[in-house]
């Protein structure tokens, strides 16, 4: 299959809340900034838009306003789950994907000859699962293992990917290889280079995706600050936080072709 040029606009970490500003973040200002981001997306007219997680800072009551803004985006939108998205109380966590129109917490789609894969890095976490669930217990064990060897990503606001999801990803990458489809992966949590924000089992995921030459891009949020590097032929990009609105801009535009991955940061003011 021949891949056609594909343009994706991505933003992350809106962190909207109707709450007083912290020392570093203005939660209320995130909503008009999101509205400006939506207007910029519509002006640029990408093929797809990706929302990379942490749409709210906390509180289920804060979700309606940013979702209403996102409904104004003309292009189809892809949602990714972030840790703050589950700051809605234990009674509401099961509804977090559904409220974003997500049938599954991790999934794939094909477009323009590309395979787009969305991973759920909140799957093994202490905030997105009930304390008596196997996923919660696995998260506790992963955290303890990381703490035992003094790794910086041993933080309760990170998450991990379970065995079943990793197996599914391997099958999807194998299928993409068979069909000669280039792949772009989106997840809230970074995997490379290692940092305090990394997925609990970042090394395991990194080993998996670098084994497949079809993977061209891995994009994440969570760390807030922009970064970009290339490793094993894969562009690893941290999309900057919209709530911070640091120059040159929080909207990241990916222009994907068979031969290249071009990246542009765009201001939304």
Predicted TM-score of the model (pTM): 0.98
Residue 247: predicted pLDDT: 87
Residue 1: predicted pLDDT: 62
Superfamily of domain 6-266: Metallo-dependent phosphatases (3.60.21.10)
- Model confidence pLDDT, tens digit, residues 80-103: 999 999 999 999 999 999 999 999
**Which residues make beta-bridge pairs with 263?**
254
- Model confidence pLDDT, tens digit, residues 235-249: 999 999 999 988 888
Question: What is the pLDDT confidence band of residue 213, given thresholds at 50, 70 and 90?
Answer: very high
Domain boundaries, the chain: 6-266
- Measured CA to CA, the distance from residue 15 to residue 31 in angstroms comes to 9
145's CB contacts (< 8 A; 6+ apart) are none
What b/e readout covers 42-70, taking b as 16+ CB neighbours within 10 angstroms? eeeebbbbbbbbbbbbbbbebbebbbebb
Are 173 and 215 contacting, i.e. CB atoms less than 8 angstroms apart? Answer: yes
Span 5-18, mean pLDDT? 98
Find where tokens 């594909």 sit. 6
Span 192-206, mean pLDDT? 98
Residues 93-99: contacts with CB under 8 Å, at least 24 apart: 93/127, 93/128, 93/129, 93/130, 96/128, 99/63, 99/67
Q: Which two tokens stand for residue 193?
A: 């280079």
């Amino acid at each position: 299959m021949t891949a056609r040029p594909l343009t994706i606009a991505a933003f992350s970490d809106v962190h909207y809340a109707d709450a007083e500003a912290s020392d570093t973040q203005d939660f209320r200002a995130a909503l008009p900034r999101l509205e400006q981001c939506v207007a910029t997306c519509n002006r640029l007219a990408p093929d797809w838009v990706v929302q990379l997680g942490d749409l709210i800072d906390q509180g289920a009551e804060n979700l309606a306003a940013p979702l209403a803004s996102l409904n104004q985006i003309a292009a189809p939108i892809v949602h990714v789950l972030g840790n703050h998205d589950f700051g809605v109380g234990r009674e509401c966590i099961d509804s977090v994907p559904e409220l974003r129109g997500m049938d599954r917490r991790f999934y794939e789609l094909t477009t323009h000859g590309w395979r787009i894969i969305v991973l759920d890095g909140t799957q093994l976490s202490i905030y997105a699962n009930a304390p008596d669930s196997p996923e919660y217990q696995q998260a506790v064990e992963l955290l303890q293992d990381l703490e035992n060897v003094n790794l910086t990503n041993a933080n309760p606001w990170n998450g991990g990917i379970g065995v079943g999801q990793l197996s599914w990803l391997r099958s999807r990458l194998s299928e993409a290889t068979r069909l000669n489809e280039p792949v772009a992966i989106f997840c809230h949590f970074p995997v490379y280079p290692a940092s305090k924000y990394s997925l609990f089992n970042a090394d395991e995921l990194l080993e998996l995706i670098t084994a497949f030459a079809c993977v061209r891009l891995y994009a994440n949020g969570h760390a807030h600050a922009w970064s970009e590097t290339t490793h094993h032929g894969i562009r690893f990009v941290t999309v900057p936080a919209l709530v911070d609105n640091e120059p040159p801009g929080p909207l990241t535009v990916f222009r994907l072709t068979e031969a290249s991955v071009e990246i542009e940061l765009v201001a939304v003011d």
